Structure 1
Amino acid sequence: MEVDLLWLTLIVTLVGYLYYQLTKNNEYFLEKPIPSLPVRPFFGSSAALLLKQATFSDFIKNAYEKFPGVKVFGMFETTTPFFVIRDPELIKRIAVKDFDHFVDHRPTFGNHEDSDNPYVLFGRSLFAMNGQRWRDMRATLSPAFTGSKMRQMFGLIGECGEDMVRFFENQMKGSGSVEVEVKDMLGRFGVNVIATCAFGLKVDSFLDRDNEFYRHGKEMMQFGKLSVLLKIIALRMLPKFCAWLGVDVVSREQAVYFSNIIKETVRSRESQGIVRHDMVDLLLQAKKGTLKHHQEKEMQEGFATVEESDVGKVEMTKPMSEAEMIAQCFIFFLAGFDTVSTSAMLAIYELVRNPEIQEKLYEEVKKTHSELGGKPLTYDAVQKMKYMDMVVSESLRLWSPAPAIDRLCVRDYVLDDGEGLKFTIDKGTCVWFPAHGLHHDPRYYPNPEKFEPERFNDENKKKVHLATYMPFGIGPRNCIGSRFALMEVKTVIYHLLLKFSFERSENTQIPLKLRKGFTALGTEKGMYVRLRARKNV
């Protein structure tokens, strides 16, 4: 009986301690002069996300709309206090002017900069780095993502587009059309692009549908698996312990596979003097500390393109380690396989829903093709397609790639709006910029649920506030690969639209249903359309 009582006491003590840890901060926002969302133990304010009752986009939009007219409100993401900044001027101040207080992302997937494990990928990537190490790596990588560097590797992306089109032309011989699952199609295109640009490989994931590179990549992207979710929870709750153990989101098998590819590519490039003007060449220069910023001639680039800050323009001579180089290639794969392909998919979805816009864009594509006079598509030709940029910019507004953008407060920050709102954002708490909420706010975008590319014509885009349009983030910690992503999205749409029209099929889901939960933007059941061959192309 005494033993049973002892065990009962231990269990009650442990449960009580766990409950205390989960609820000790629940009254945090009562001391702040701002409203806040209700809090539940363990779930914080995000039960709808964790229980998969809402999509991430809808959760952000619904939270944003709960406090109209309020500049800042509070919430908990599990046990971490988040300040949600609704006011564009405050967002700009925090993200740009006072960036030194908010340098880092929240370490959701761990940070293993000091780990001896060579197969830690995500934790050693630019996205996961903090503080001065992030600054150094950003400055090291930044010259690789300028317009001139994109121009050099553009031909490799164009080849992938042409290969994809030939595949589908062969598929529809005799019928004139074929139904495709768009995310699968664009994911395969994205894999081909990343293989050739970031890994130095030539793969064709359309003809060889189960090639080794694609198979390992798809396995690596299974973030919904229970084992991966448990890793993410452990990395979030016990980051130092996981770093000591060398736990990473990416499995050891995939980490070894992709690491070996890069190592072999580097060896062959260095021993044979091979130059392809791809990302591997640029990273090799960064590895040697010879990749430098050069004065760029001014050129018209996409509206969504983010500009590099002074942080990224610092001259760096510190070489990049081989492990760091491999980790950056992994991040390129992650972005190309999922984020870029999803953004292109949603743009195509809107073209299917709006055939008059599709036809207008086709006319511009056809005009560009004619002006090229039979020559392959070029980077400069893509930049001159104004309506293409309007369509893609509007799609990125309507379907925010990152519904919310996070920053970790690295030292106490006094927020003062100059109009009576003044309080401290404490070190260790986080801020969220609710991009999806701002993108759908009728104050900034009238009739926000309508797909309207004219919002981004030459006249209207001048009226868009910097902090109400954030598809690639804002401030010095914005997405370094915005030029690459936009180049890829526009290129794949150009090649497909030149040869095919996008039409509804019996399996086209309108309205499109997105996955619920705290996951990347994606659909529940795929997005099907019919590609129909154009005549006289």
Structure 2
Amino acid sequence: MKYKGSGRFVGFYLYMRKAVMLLDLDLIQDICVKDFGNFTDRGYYYNKKDDPISAHLLQLDGNHWKTMRGKLTPAFTSGKIKFMLTTVVNIADELVNVLEETLSSTNMDDGVHCDNLMVRYTTDVIGSVAFGLKCNSLKEPNCEFREIGEKLCYYRYSMPIVSLMNLFPNLFRKLGFKIIIEEVSQFFFRVVREAVDYRDRTGEQRKDYLNILMELRKLNTADNLTMDEITAQAFVFFVGGFETSASVLSFCLYELALNQNIQEKARREINEIIAQHDGKPTYEAVKEMKYLLQVMYETIRMYSVVPGLVRKTAEDYIVSNTNYVIEKGTTVIIPLDAIHYDPDIYPNPEQFDPERFTKTEVENRHPMAWLGFGRGPRACIGSRFAEFQVLIGLSSLLKNFRFSPTKRTQIPIQFIKNKIFRGAEKGVYLKVEKL
């Protein structure tokens, strides 16, 4: 807000790094889309030799990223996602059953710990579609998958060390620094290797993400995936799929609890559409839930899982319509929260209003005014799967339960400061009533 309107970007130092924060939506579009070739890299630290699980799609740069993205894109076609959704619906049914059981033993003065429940739901979903495993964290909250998931949501080192690793990656690679906690790394290598060995031995075929990675291993080219690469890509699907979607679900339930009229409108749409599809939130049914999608987009606007996107300049970049140059190697920050809370784009930005995402409203806004999944070639590869995972969970919950605040609900909500993805400081506790 301090620099808005003063130019197309502002420069500052991030520790010892030169950094640029973009202030202009047209410039953001240039960097994310039109001139993407100069901004393919994020500049995050990874160590393929000593910490191979860190060399995943989210972290990779340059040709490594481009090659891996090309290999993995076919895994997220509409047809592949549709096959995965049967599993998601079954786990959503289990979520409803577990929540029903929880109500009988919960003091509603405090309410149900909803963010904990949402993480267990998404853990079971991603564990199943990524690894073909029944994690069972809905029934067993302290299962190994859930404990490992909790550990990987926090940084291994303090923020100054992480920044130095990003600033001097070659030095830290020579020193053998790892970014992933050892216990987490060993767990995923074990789980993936056991699953791959079992399928190789039995010839079992599943319509899941691991099966797609295993097929890429069999390519008779230099580009076939190694076991390290299979594990790294399975790992990032788990990381990117369980915590982020759980965060969106939790904050969505929080806002719906505070806005009963919006909750009721969403519930009416869900009931009407599901009634036309044999009572199940199928792929086709969920695609028809336009208002629920607006509810999700508005939640992501207000509670982006990360506050900004990062790019790194490959070569000196002349900013159009200026005499300025963004120098090679400069960190470029796209401030999601600042854009999503800009009152000139979203009047009364603190207010939860899904009507901002009607077709007309979206068409009248700049395409870079909402960046929930990023934009351009480096946008989230699993965004469509994430949407369905959230919408199936939401539709199953709202069809069966009403959510409202309790004395333990933190209003206004505050955020955990040292977590990689956005989370509620004191949890999301809500009163839940069976309908």
TM bucket (normalised to shorter chain) is: over 0.9
2:113 paired residue number: 181
1:229 offset after TM fit, Å?
5.1
How does 1:440-519 map onto structure 2 within 5 Å? Answer: 440-516=341-417, 519=420
2:124 paired residue number: 192
1:175 offset after TM fit, Å?
8.3
1:244 offset after TM fit, Å?
3.0
- 2:286 alignment partner AA: V
Distance 2:20 2:123 in 1: 37
- 2:223 alignment partner AA: K
Alignment of 1:351 with 2:351, yes or no, is: no
1:164 offset after TM fit, Å?
1.2
Q: Percent sequence identity over matched residues? A: 30
- 1:259 alignment partner AA: F
Q: Is the 8 A contact 1:187 1:337 kept in 2?
A: yes
CA RMSD of aligned residues (A): 2.2
1:245 offset after TM fit, Å?
4.2
- 2:126 alignment partner AA: I
1:111 paired residue number: 46
Q: Select the residue among 107, 128, 138 that pairs with 2:59.
A: 128
| Offset from partner CA, 1:199-252 (integer Å, 9 cap, x none) | 2111211221211222222223333x6x56576355235422332344322222
Assess, with a 3 A threshold, how the Cα gap between structure 1 residues 202 and 175 changes in structure 2: closer, same or farther: closer
Q: Is the 8 A contact 2:115 2:246 kept in 1?
A: yes
Q: Select the residue among 427, 430, 433 that pairs with 2:328.
A: 427
Q: Is the 8 A contact 1:351 1:358 kept in 2?
A: yes
Q: Is the 8 A contact 1:120 1:248 kept in 2?
A: no
1:399 offset after TM fit, Å?
1.7
Assess, with a 3 A threshold, how the Cα gap between structure 1 residues 175 and 201 changes in structure 2: closer, same or farther: closer
- 1:362 alignment partner AA: R
Distance 2:219 2:161 in 1: 34
- 1:337 alignment partner AA: F
Distance 1:186 1:373 in 2: 25
1:74 paired residue number: 11
| Offset from partner CA, 1:424-483 (integer Å, 9 cap, x none) | 111111111112111122222222222111111122221121111101111111111111
Distance 2:214 2:345 in 1: 43
Distance 2:77 2:328 in 1: 34
Distance 1:434 1:222 in 2: 21
Q: Please list every run of 5 or more consecutive structure 2 residues that lacks an aligned counterpart in the other structure.
A: none
Distance 1:439 1:175 in 2: 36
1:106 offset after TM fit, Å?
2.1
Distance 1:397 1:464 in 2: 14
- 2:26 alignment partner AA: E
Assess, with a 3 A threshold, how the Cα gap between structure 1 residues 252 and 450 changes in structure 2: closer, same or farther: same
Give secondary structure in 1 for the equivalent of 2:432.
strand
Assess, with a 3 A threshold, how the Cα gap between structure 1 residues 217 and 520 changes in structure 2: closer, same or farther: closer
**Max Rg structure:** 1
1:363 paired residue number: 268
1:54 paired residue number: none
Which has the larger displacement, 437-446 or 147-156? 437-446
Q: Select the residue among 141, 154, 157 that pairs with 1:222.
A: 154
Distance 2:161 2:131 in 1: 27
Alignment of 1:207 with 2:139, yes or no, is: yes
1:341 paired residue number: 246
Alignment of 1:323 with 2:228, yes or no, is: yes
Q: Is the 8 A contact 1:411 1:428 kept in 2?
A: yes
Q: Please list every run of 5 or more consecutive structure 1 residues that lacks an aligned counterpart in the other structure.
A: 1-63, 291-315
Distance 1:127 1:176 in 2: 41
Give secondary structure in 2 for the equivalent of 1:372.
coil
Alignment of 1:162 with 2:93, yes or no, is: yes
Q: Select the residue among 74, 80, 84 that pairs with 1:153.
A: 84
1:263 paired residue number: 193
| Offset from partner CA, 1:140-164 (integer Å, 9 cap, x none) | 0011112221111001111111111
Q: Is the 8 A contact 2:153 2:420 kept in 1?
A: no
Distance 1:102 1:367 in 2: 45
Give secondary structure in 2 for the equivalent of 1:247.
coil
Give secondary structure in 1 for the equivalent of 2:324.
strand
Distance 2:105 2:428 in 1: 24
Give secondary structure in 1 for the equivalent of 2:10.
strand
Distance 1:411 1:514 in 2: 36
Assess, with a 3 A threshold, how the Cα gap between structure 1 residues 289 and 356 changes in structure 2: closer, same or farther: farther
Give secondary structure in 2 for the equivalent of 1:476.
helix
Give secondary structure in 2 for the equivalent of 1:111.
coil
Q: Is the 8 A contact 1:352 1:502 kept in 2?
A: yes
Give secondary structure in 2 for the equivalent of 1:259.
helix
Q: Is the 8 A contact 1:231 1:249 kept in 2?
A: no
State the TM-score, normalizing by the size of structure 1: 0.77
